[in-house]
């Protein structure tokens, strides 16, 4: 089986030191770690490469439209004070590729240090499973209270997002990061339990859109609820803490949460019917 080779980088990144490091590759985009103007400043580089199977005119139009839409969402959220990566640079024309015909588009963002929430919760659940025989009731309650605190911060971040008139479109624990404070350790002192401290940062707005519809906000919440239920079973019963954080940070939460009940009902019907 041949080793995967990602598409060629756009020309501004062909001679950077150190060279960009490929972190993840999806159907639509590749994410690299690179540097900004100063080699000491790390940055995240998201590249939407050209799709050779699409008609060239359609491909350029779609690629341009999607990268600009994502950049506009980020720019608006930054202005509104939402915790997202800062937008540093953007090229939607795709100039300067190999032989002048690269054709893709890219945007550069602030590099966020810290793990994704998915990893944090997975580590916590693994630690709980490993130590459940030695934890008394009060210790279990303390641990669950720590997770509730994290979920409240997640809900608060989503509430501010929706208040700004943006829906994420792909809310999972992989698209939420936890940026630790300067004095936060990797584990809780004296217990070895994974740290859950830090600021929640929303990432990956490739499917985001401007919307003031409660239905769209409810779908955002439902997608995250289902993601937590399928990936983090021990954290799922604590999901109400996320709803509390959402309600506290967003005045329009009541109508969105009412619509969430409708979305849940439709989801259960689909599950029963197959």
Beta bridge partners of 87: 109
Asked whether the beta carbons of 184 and 229 are under 8 A apart, the reply is no
Residue count of the chain, please give it: 274
- Give the CA count within 13 Å in the CB-facing half-sphere of 219: 13
Max Cα distance, the chain (Å): 66
Q: What 3-state class would DSSP assign to 180?
A: coil
CA gap 241, 39 in Å, rounded: 41
216 catalytically annotated: no
Say whether 259 sits in a helix, a strand or coil: helix
Instruction: Work out whether strand 166-167 and strand 209-210 pair parallel, antiparallel, or are unpaired.
Output: antiparallel
Of these residues, 38, 59, 136, 170, which one is catalytic?
Answer: 170
Catalytic residues: 170
């Amino acid at each position: 089986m041949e080793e995967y080779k990602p598409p060629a980088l756009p020309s501004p990144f062909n001679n950077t030191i150190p060279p960009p490091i490929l972190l993840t590759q999806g159907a639509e985009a590749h994410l690299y770690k690179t540097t900004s103007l100063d080699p000491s400043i790390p940055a995240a580089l998201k590249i939407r490469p050209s799709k050779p199977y699409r008609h060239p005119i359609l491909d350029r139009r779609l690629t341009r439209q999607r990268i600009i839409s994502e950049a506009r969402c980020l720019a608006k959220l930054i202005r509104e004070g939402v915790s997202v990566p800062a937008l540093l640079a953007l090229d939607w024309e795709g100039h300067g590729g190999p032989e002048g015909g690269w054709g893709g588009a890219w945007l550069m963002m602030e590099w966020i240090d810290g793990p994704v929430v998915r990893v944090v919760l997975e580590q916590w659940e693994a630690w709980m499973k490993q130590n459940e025989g030695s934890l008394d009731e009060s210790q279990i309650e303390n641990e669950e209270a720590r997770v509730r605190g994290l979920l409240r911060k997640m809900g608060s971040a989503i509430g501010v997002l929706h208040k700004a008139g943006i829906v994420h479109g792909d809310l999972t624990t992989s698209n939420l990061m936890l940026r630790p404070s300067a004095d936060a350790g990797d584990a809780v002192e004296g217990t070895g339990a994974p740290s859950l401290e830090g600021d929640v940062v929303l990432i990956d707005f490739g499917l985001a859109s401007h919307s003031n519809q409660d239905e769209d906000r409810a779908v955002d919440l439902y997608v995250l609820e289902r993601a937590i239920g399928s990936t983090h079973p021990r954290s799922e019963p604590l999901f109400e803490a996320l709803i509390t954080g959402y309600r506290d940070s967003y005045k329009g939460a009541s109508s969105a949460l009412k619509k969430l009940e409708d979305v849940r009902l439709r989801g259960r019907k689909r599950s029963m019917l197959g």
